[in-house]
Chains A and B, each alone.
Chain A
Amino acid sequence: MNAVEVVNVTKSYGTHVAVEDLTLHVPQGTVYGFIGPNGSGKTTTLRMIMNILYPDRGQISVLGASLSRMVVDRVGYMPEERGIYRRMRVGELLEFFGRLKGLERPTPVVKVWLKRFGLAEWYDKKVETLSKGMSQKIQFIATVVARPELVLLDEPFTGLDPVNADVVREAILDLRSKGTTVIFSTHDMAMAERMCDFIFMIFRGRKVLDGTLASIQDAYGMDTVRVRTERGLSVLEGLPGVEKVTDFGGLQELRLLPGADYHSVLEAMVARTRVRSFDVVKPSLHEIFVRIAGPQAEEAGHA
């Protein structure tokens, strides 16, 4: 069964089409990543799934029910622009959101989550005294405190340091292991690659990717080579069969032209310098994202 079904949904703001004819099936118990450039329609899609925005056309069902009958208590939502009552105490705030979602005695659950996130001693402190990272963790707890079956997180890792990002990541994966379906949007491609069972990319309101990471990468083929050479970037210019070279300092990534033979590329490279490593790989999600939404794609789109 799918936790979320989006069928032929379109949403416009005036003349601007934010989401166009979108169809999406989010299987239950999976982690589904929404990626896409800013303003591409991720947040609008999440808001429509939450019934905060109403689609102009199409149908959406959540946990087997249409939006009008959706039981919001079974769904947790953390918006991108996170609002929080700054003058409330941490415990009070989380208990309020727990009660709002139907928990009758939220205090023990709140304390467990605060302890897990290393914030137990902040229970009685005012929210306004928390750091930005702490506030973000509190907002995450507020979203999941009532053990929802579906969680929607709009850019949950933005603004978190690596330690806190790991804490949130582990919490998300733990929720998934207990059967919760998690949908989150992110600009962190590496995080999406590591966490998501399925990845969905929206660009200019249209779905451009949807599937497992492997299936998406397969669609792009083995056209990427990561190399380390003694003379670095300077010897890679003008190599036959190479469409694009991306420099990462100690490592360069080559995108081969369609039909190019990587043996020929290797031979040409060896003729110029000593090659320390030569790995033929599938393109990373980052690379795929840039191919779809990078400046070249933008130019092609405008042409």
Chain B
Amino acid sequence: MRKALVLAGREYLASVRTKGFIIGLIIAPVMMSGSLIVFLLFKDRVDTADKRIVIVDRAGGIASWVIGAAERRNATETIDTATGQKVKPRYAIVEEPSAADRRQQLLDLSARVERGDIHAFIVIGSAVLHPENMGEEGRIAYHARNAAVDDARRWFFGPLNDRIKQSRLQEAGIDPSRMPDLFWNAAVEPFGLVTRDESGAVGKERRSSEAEALLAPIVTMLLMLLMIMMSVPGLLNSMMEEKTQRIAEVLLSSMTPFEMMTGKLIGGVAVSLTSATIYLVGAVLVLQSLALSGHLPLQALLWFPVYMLLAVVMYGAMALALGATCSEPKDAQSLTFPVILPIMLPMFFYVLVAREPGGTFATWMSLIPFFTPLLMTLRLATPETVPWWQPVVGLAGLAGFTYLFVFLGARIFRIGILVQGTPPKLSRIVEWMIRG
């Protein structure tokens, strides 16, 4: 064990002292949460160029209402009052009469969009007030180059429907001024479960937020993924490097293959623990400074280091065993994918687990040892209570698989480390694994 620790110390220092590790500490979370950061950075960066939109009102009486609503919007929403800067585009809406040849009119308007004269055009069907079974005349059609994701289309939904509701109320003989009260949508607000507090009294329910329900679990799971990815591919590469540069033979003259593998695994775990400590302490400090420490998924954080340790050892043993079979760097390149695949698999369905963390699918998936580190951590970080036995069973399965991987990995490692000149073949690796 002493020799394994000496090697672990070297491996650890060789990793954490590099610029790559420090840069990786900063870059990796940025890369992994890249889309979120880009969204936050650019969420207000919308195209502020004014948009000219033609409206063809075959129902009558709707266009003028929408034009009025657009003018109110232009006056109140397009300029940031604090900075005086334009933050949204103005909508210049122009009504045009419906032509006799309706198909030709659509073609002409489309040509104007193509030329850039107008941004889009809307055709309000003649029967839009009572659209049932009215086909095309019962709908409102928004035509633009990219209509499905056009912000303007989303805006039209409000004023158009307001006007339609108003007309329907008038037809029914109801005072349209009652419209806000009649159509006030009742929100279904999210709350957690009610429990007794420390004094035994019924506690106050806690309002749950999207951050708590989705963001915290996903960030915790991504952190676990990051920790595994920061050490496991590194172990594969360092093993391959030692093998191809013939350092392994020097080490094997001083220690057994098992000591060598153990030392490298301990080094890898230490690297992950260092990164995890930095990130977790950083996250706790940031959330505390923002008075958001209530969002900390404490139950998940308690299990986090245990799962992470076993995951790094399990995947690390596999990476080291496969790395030991490489004779050339290109061999390692071809082995990187099979090493990373089981780590990445939960990323394909974690959303299903996050949405129903207490469901059967989430429960079973999180008990599969390959997926336990990511998915159990994700479930534990949700506000939903995970029965106490599930993380324990997950841990037992993970520990069993970790032992199996280390055992089989050591068998491959012991032989693979000495084989030179031949690329790793699956059949030979399996043979070493079985026969030892």
Contacts and interface: CB of A to CB of B under 8 A. Distances in A.
Interface of A: 47, 50, 52-53, 72-73, 75-79, 81-88, 96-97, 99-102, 139, 142
Given A53-B418, A96-B6, A100-B7, A73 B246 contact: no
Contact of B253 (A50, A81, A86, A99): A50
B253 A52 contact: yes
Report whether over half of chain B's contact residues are helix, strand or loop; otherwise say mixed.
helix
Contacts of A142: 250
A287 B321 CA distance: 47
B253 A83 contact: no
B164 interface: no
Interface in B1-19: 2-3, 6-7, 10, 14
A83 B7 contact: no
Contacts of B251: 100
Contact of A52 (B3, B14, B252): B252
Contacts of A84: 245, 247, 250
A83 B250 contact: yes
Given A96-B6, A99-B6, A100-B6, A82 B250 contact: yes
Contacts of A96: 6, 10
18 contacts: A50-B252, A52-B252, A52-B253, A52-B418, A72-B253, A72-B254, A79-B253, A81-B246, A83-B246, A83-B247, A83-B248, A83-B249, A88-B10, A88-B14, A99-B6, A100-B251, A100-B255, A101-B254
A128 to B, nearest CB: 12
B428 to A, nearest CB: 12
B328 interface: no
Contact of A100 (B14, B247, B254): B254
B242 interface: yes
B245 A73 contact: no
A142 B10 CA distance: 15
B242 A83 contact: yes
Given A72-B254, A88-B14, A81 B418 contact: no
Given A83-B246, A88-B10, 11 more contacts: A47-B249, A52-B252, A52-B418, A79-B250, A83-B249, A85-B10, A96-B10, A100-B3, A102-B2, A139-B250, A142-B250
Contacts of A53: 418
Contacts of A100: 3, 6-7, 251, 254-255
A82 B249 CA distance: 8
